[in-house]
Structure 1
Amino acid sequence: MIVGRVIGWFLLFCALVLLGWDAVSSLDNGTWGFAVLGQRWYEIDQALGGFTLNTLQAGIERNISVDLWDNVFAPVLLWPAVAVFVVPGVVFLLLFRRWGGGRTQRRFSGKR
């Protein structure tokens, strides 16, 4: 359960970083808007000197299916990057939250 909460908080932290990045970018551009996931992934990829986005596309198209890339991955890359991390983060936090409130003392523990 704690692993799910940690993943949820990590995803929300990533969303907060992306939101800050969008805010700083909007100050440069003069207009407010959310960047899409594909754009942010490309910018991170270029900064680190990698080709993960192109490699992922080639691997999926060659080894799995071209339709999977065209119908699933490509549309997700056009979604706002903040939303891609906020939605699963909130879902993880709701699924793995503590359901009984805080810790309760056992009634019949034998210690008095």
Structure 2
Amino acid sequence: MRRFIALFFLALALAVIVWEALGYFEYGDWSLIVFGEIAFRLFPEWLNTAQAVIQRYVSAWLWDPAIQTFLLWPAWPILSGLGLLLMLPGRRRR
């Protein structure tokens, strides 16, 4: 199961890179897709709720510089990093 999820994240990262490249070829401008944009499009209520809960009950500094910075990073390195992290423990030994 872990290997399937890892491959899913790697496929998403590849899809994001292809989407960015298609935008470059169509418009002549390479614009990065940030991770927060994907998260907001997939789970808009969850992202707003997570922000409110973290700022109110955990700590405001955790959301504003830490998580917000993470959400502004390009999506493909985050997705591929998650995929690789999940792939490593699931490696088969010979």
Q: Same fold (TM over 0.5)?
A: yes
Residue 14 of structure 2: aligned partner: 16
Residue 99 of structure 1: aligned partner: 93
Structure 1 runs of 4+ off > 3 angstroms?
none
Matched AA of 1:70: D
- Tell me how far apart the structure 2 counterparts of residues 34 and 71 of structure 1 sit (CA, whole Å): 20
Question: What is the number of equivalent residue pairs in this alignment?
Answer: 94
Measured at CA, do residues 38 and 29 of structure 1 come closer, stay the same or move farther in structure 2, by a change above 3 Å? farther
Question: What is the TM-score normalised by the length of structure 2?
Answer: 0.79
Cα RMSD between the aligned structures? Answer: 2.1
Question: What is the TM-score normalised by the length of structure 1?
Answer: 0.69
More helix by share: 2
Q: CA deviation at 1:88?
A: 1.7
* 2:88 match: secondary structure: helix
Measured at CA, do residues 28 and 54 of structure 1 come closer, stay the same or move farther in structure 2, by a change above 3 Å? farther
Q: CA deviation at 1:28?
A: 4.0
- Tell me how far apart the structure 1 counterparts of residues 53 and 17 of structure 2 sit (CA, whole Å): 30
The 5-angstrom pairing of residues 1-112 of structure 1 reads: 3-42=1-40, 44-45=41-42, 50-100=44-94
List gaps (5 residues or longer) in structure 2: none
Matched AA of 1:20: V
Measured at CA, do residues 53 and 28 of structure 1 come closer, stay the same or move farther in structure 2, by a change above 3 Å? farther
Q: CA deviation at 1:97?
A: 0.8
* 1:95 match: secondary structure: coil
Residue 106 of structure 1: aligned partner: none
Higher-Rg member (1/2): 1
Identity of aligned residues (%): 34
